[in-house]
Amino acid sequence: MNTLIKAKFSFIFGRKEFTMFFVLLGMIIVSAIISPTFRSIDNILNILNQNAIIGVMSIGMAFVLITGAFDLSVSSTVALTGITSTYFFREYGFVAGIVTGLTVGVLMGLANGLLVTKIRINPFVATLGMMTIGRGIVFIVTNGFPVMGVPSKYGVIGMGKVGPIPIAAGIWLIFAAITYLVMRYTKFGQYIYAIGGSETASWLSGINTVKIKILAFVICGVFASLGGIILTLRVLMATADGATGYELTTIASCIVGGISIDGGRGSILSAVVGTLILGLILNMLQLTGVSSFWQSAITGLIILGAVGIDSVSNRKRD
């Protein structure tokens, strides 16, 4: 009996995503003690709502990171989606705006996937290039000026609520639950993990590694576009510099939550937990009156710490 209990505890605490979940719980308790304002339901819902865009983007990034790659172009995908969908929202209606916006993500993800798998360009170089191209297109199309005209009635997606629950947060958590099940209980999910563990071994075992990696990049692009649509419907406009720096926050959320930067380990739960940890830190900085300029510095320290811990863990396993 004791052996069984020890095995269960070893399984739980041996997985970084579960460890970080308990870290998140500890942070919530400490924050609630420090700040009475933090304990309010409105503040908790505000944390979920404010981090819904990064949360959605982190879901897609998780697929790519678990394969052992990453995507630096997600912020440009958000901006390009915003510009494109704004025009279609304004001229052709809600459905046209959604479909066109998501198509941008498919195309960006497909381009990244083909560059990495077919042309065999390093993911850093490939996605950095696509990030620059995407942002360049946005500035060319807009001349640096905001694009406005999204009907205000569509703003319910970005700013509205169903009861007390913000719609944007609901979208994030629903997709997180769906993709968690996909990654855990489908062959596609198992192939993603297998490629992250060893792409060569996966190919030798009969997995179409090229197809799976391309799909992972496409999924990442689609979720980046979904984040772009939510952002557009929150502010009812799109700007050329929109979502600048989101790619680093998205990657940081995944790594902090427990997804290994070397691939093969982590889950969608990791992406959710990491997003909430970074969001909670920002919320506490705001509640305690700390300058917002500290956010980038603290995020950078957290990334270094998370990657450092992951590297040490990998060496111990080896």
Q: pLDDT tens across 130-148, in order?
A: 999 999 999 999 999 999 9
pLDDT of 44 above 70? yes
Q: What is the DSSP letter of 151?
A: -
SS3 content of the chain, % helix, strand, coil (to 5): 80, 5, 20
- Using CB atoms within 10 Å of the CB of residue 13, give its burial: 0 to 12 exposed, 13 to 18 middle, 19+ buried: exposed
Amino acid present at 70:
F
Residue keyed to tokens 């993800």: 109
Query: Of residues 185 and 300, which shows the higher confidence score?
Result: 185
Nearest-CA neighbor of 48 among 168, 157, 223?
A: 168
Confirm if 258 and 20 have CB atoms less than 8 A apart: yes
Q: 184-211 burial, b if ≥16 CB within 10 A, otherwise e?
A: eeeeebebbbbbbbebeebeeeebebbe
Q: What is the pLDDT of residues 158-189, one digit of tens each?
A: 999 999 999 999 999 999 999 999 999 999 99
Helix (H) or strand (E) holding 162: strand 161-162
pLDDT of 268 above 90? yes
Identify the band that residue 288 occupies on the pLDDT scale cut at 50, 70 and 90.
confident
Q: Tell me what pLDDT residue 147 has.
A: 94
pLDDT of 13 above 60? no
* Other CB atoms within 10 A of residue 92 CB: 12
- From residue 259, give the alpha-carbon distance in Å to each of 10, 40, 251: 18, 31, 9
Return mean pLDDT, the chain: 89
Q: What percent of the chain has pLDDT over 90?
A: 71
Q: Tell me what pLDDT residue 68 has.
A: 95
Confirm if 19 and 10 have CB atoms less than 8 A apart: no
* Other CB atoms within 10 A of residue 152 CB: 8
- CA 9 vs. chain centroid, Å, equals 29
Identify the band that residue 318 occupies on the pLDDT scale cut at 50, 70 and 90.
low
**Overall pTM > 0.95:** no
Residue keyed to tokens 């500290």: 294
Query: Of residues 208 and 290, which shows the higher confidence score?
Result: 208
Q: Tell me what pLDDT residue 317 has.
A: 57
Q: Residues for the chain: how many in total?
A: 318
Q: What is the pLDDT of residues 55-104, one digit of tens each?
A: 999 999 999 999 999 999 999 999 999 999 999 999 999 999 999 999 99
Kindly state the average pLDDT of the residues 281-306.
76
